[in-house]
Amino acid sequence: MTGPADGPIRPSSTEDTAATPGWVESSVDAAFTDLPVQGEGVQTLRTAYLECLASGGSGDLDIAHDRCRVALLKGLTESEGLDAGAARALELRLEALEAEISARI
């Protein structure tokens, strides 16, 4: 780990950190392309969703995916003003992606 003496510790490039496979990130990017809302807040929520998927948790993967998706959709609707129809369309795309992740594990 590296970091300043009085600052947060950051993983060095040789340490393992949770990450999703590249195909997952590109699939999430594709799902976000058609959203009627964009901007820094949306990108922050996208990143948090990917990090949540990467962390997975030690329990049931489907429950972990549900938790990640629910948090993302809540953030997009409450903070970014995503309407119910667009949120439902995104939810369906993400559910399909999450099912593919589960199938590949």
Q: What is the pLDDT of residues 76-95, one digit of tens each?
A: 999 999 999 999 999 999 99
40 within a domain of the structure (yes/no): yes
Which structural domain, as residue segments, surrounds residue 96? 22-104
- On whether residue 41 sits in a domain, the answer given is yes
Residue range 22-48, pLDDT digits in tens: 889 999 999 999 899 999 999 999 999
Cα–chain center distance at 40:
15
Task: Please indicate, yes or no, if residue 62 is contained in any of the structural domains.
Answer: yes
